[in-house]
Amino acid sequence: MNCRNFLKTTNILLVSALLPYCTACGGYGGGGTGGGGGSAPSAPTGLVATPGNATVSLAWTASTGATGYYIKRSTTSGAETQIAAQAGTSYNDTTVTNGTKYFYVVAAYNSYGTSADSAEVNATPTVPAAVNVTITVDPTKTRAISPYIYGTNFYEGNTNAPALLTLDRAGGNRWTAYNWINNGSNAGNDYFYENDDYLCNGTCNAGIPAEAVRMAIAADQTAGLASLVTLQLQGYVSKDTSVVKVPPPFPDLTYFRPVVNKKGAAFTLTPPPASTDGNVYMDEFVWTLDQKFPGKNIFGANPAHPTFASLDNEPDIWYSTHEEIQGSATVNSQKANNLPSATFISKTVALAQALKDQFPAVTIFGPVNYGFNGIYGWQGDATLSPTPSGTNWFADKYMTGIKAASATYGKPVVDVYDFHWYSEATDGTTRVTNLTASNLTDAQVQAIAQSPRSLWDTTYKENSWIANDVIGGPIYILGRLQAKIDAENPGMKIAITEYENGGFNHIAGTIAEADDLGIFGSQGIFAANFWPPGGTYDYTMAGFRAYRGFDGANAVFGDTSLQATSSNVANVMVYASADSATAGHYVFVAINRSTSSQMTAIDGVTLSGTASLYQITAASATGQNPIHPVPVGTQAVSGTSFQVSLPALSVTTIEVK
């Protein structure tokens, strides 16, 4: 129903008590311009009614010229009640009955009269549902969210790649032996130890130096992405572009050209062709790339879309992936050709300094460990004796070496500690990265959905050889690495440039990816790149859409993380963000990994306005292509707490503004 204007219904005794007698008007308040030449205030705007348990909270925007406000309530039965006259812009109505729908308007007054009514709003107070999980947000504990956590590898090759991604990585085993002069490469054990022109095959002119990388960066620049490119550290790159399978015994370096870090000068865009013996220079490589993007300063400070440099790929297992270069020596049937960790650190320092001599502001990633065993013990390096809580991991040795080299060089030689994380969690039998079916058991769903917790949660122990046999408890790899960085190289950042958690064709994969992205933001990760698997993986891509373009357009998660803790993280986790450019604009991503709906209270941050909800569930995803959040309604929010019901196995994005 519509409430009528207050001037027609206000009790005359209340009016006379509040307003002076207007001689010119012949009454109280005047309803317009009074005898003194003033005017009544403007009508209030922005009225919001938030229902509670036997209460309705009202809030509105102040009116110009107002000295006070009238509040009127009515019901569908026609009963009208003037419930207050006050100076403030909020009111808590506690004289209501649960289950009854109430209508409210507000009018402003001053000594010259009373405004028209505000727009009408309504609310129905109810007994609140039992809260299953409470999320406590602390808006005083914030962390900037790096824009580069929303990344993938080979962006243009992704199936159903979401819009609004931020970082593309040209990575993988094939790039270790990439020869930028002729665009030849060798994928090693991934593909028959074959030299070929795969990286340019049918897509670019292999006769143009660095064309495979230039093409990738150019596509990224057009798409508005930063780029992460691989620089060759192992020591040799492919000599041939025609298909040549390098025959055992390994190594046979006649099929390769030597890599040298520093040429220093006399750079050329047309170095000797691949058929000519000679060196392949890394500083000349980055110089060439820079020359191909004039005016963009891609390796400089604060470019629009930077290009970062990765010091190769998974060097801790070159003995397996690149035997054609590393060699096939064995001792007692065990590989004996792994690059010693000390040698690797020396090679890292030499290449990093050569690059920074040429481009002082370039951001360098290393060591690009293949996984936990590389971080922990450099895949069995005999010079290391790592222990779970000790400072004798490979990561410790690496950071100590980088710290010493940086002190000598005068600035950091490596800026980002980079590693890969293919979850080793299992359902008791099968590793989650191999759980790719559309039908999964409850145990498999939970193994996938819980697996991201091993990145940060000190209370969660996954079922894996890492947690059971090595660490003997929770892994929380990010916390462990951050502590080591803080001890040796404060300011060094962390990146995870390949990762997977499985569930690529199930809502569990959406949940895991949404959890990963929330963790990356809340833990201060600098960069992250999902590794797209073979086959289909649209459910995982949907996890990105919970943060990027969740409204089907340009709405995104905020750039500032607010600390949020869950009373039951095994069931529900919520990631909270603020927008540094717009006060009062918040976005939450709520993850329900349980198999039942969860009434969730989000407490601690002062909200005002409307919450718009977008949701991904197994039901909503059915038949979608691509899978994306769907709008499921709005609700008024006011104060420091609101509640939302999260469906079983779901991801819900909540935008408040």
- Active-site residues, by number, are 314
Residue 332: CB partners within 8 Å, gap ≥ 6? none
What is the full DSSP assignment across 474-505?
A: ---HHHHHHHHHHHH-TT-EEEEEEEE-S-TT
Amino acid identity of residue 527, one-letter, is A
Q: Which two tokens stand for residue 354?
A: 């050569």
Residue 68: CB partners within 8 Å, gap ≥ 6? 18, 85, 86, 87, 108, 109, 110
How far is Cα 21 from Cα 579, in angstroms, rounded to an integer? 49
Q: In what order do the strands lie in the sheet with 90-93?
A: 45-51, 56-61, 90-93
Task: Outline where DSSP puts E strands in 183-269.
Answer: 185-186, 194-196, 226-231, 236-238, 244-245, 256-260
Amino acid identity of residue 455, one-letter, is L
Q: What is the CB neighbour count within 10 angstroms for residue 362?
A: 21
Pairing of strands 90-93, 527-530: unpaired
The 3-state DSSP class for residue 410 equals coil
Pairing of strands 80-86, 45-51: unpaired
How far is Cα 288 from Cα 270, in angstroms, rounded to an integer? 9
Q: Which two tokens stand for residue 653?
A: 């994005």
The 3-state DSSP class for residue 644 equals strand
Cβ atoms of residues 230 and 175 within 8 Å:
yes
Q: How many Å is the Cα radius of gyration of the chain? A: 31
Task: Outline where DSSP puts E strands in 329-486.
Answer: 330-331, 334-335, 364-369, 416-422
How far is Cα 259 from Cα 132, in angstroms, rounded to an integer? 59
How far is Cα 353 from Cα 262, in angstroms, rounded to an integer? 9
Q: What is the CB neighbour count within 10 angstroms for residue 378?
A: 29
Cα atoms in the 13 Å half-sphere on the side-chain side of 74: 16
Q: Which two tokens stand for residue 621?
A: 């995803």
3-state helix, strand, coil in the chain (%, to 5): 25, 30, 45
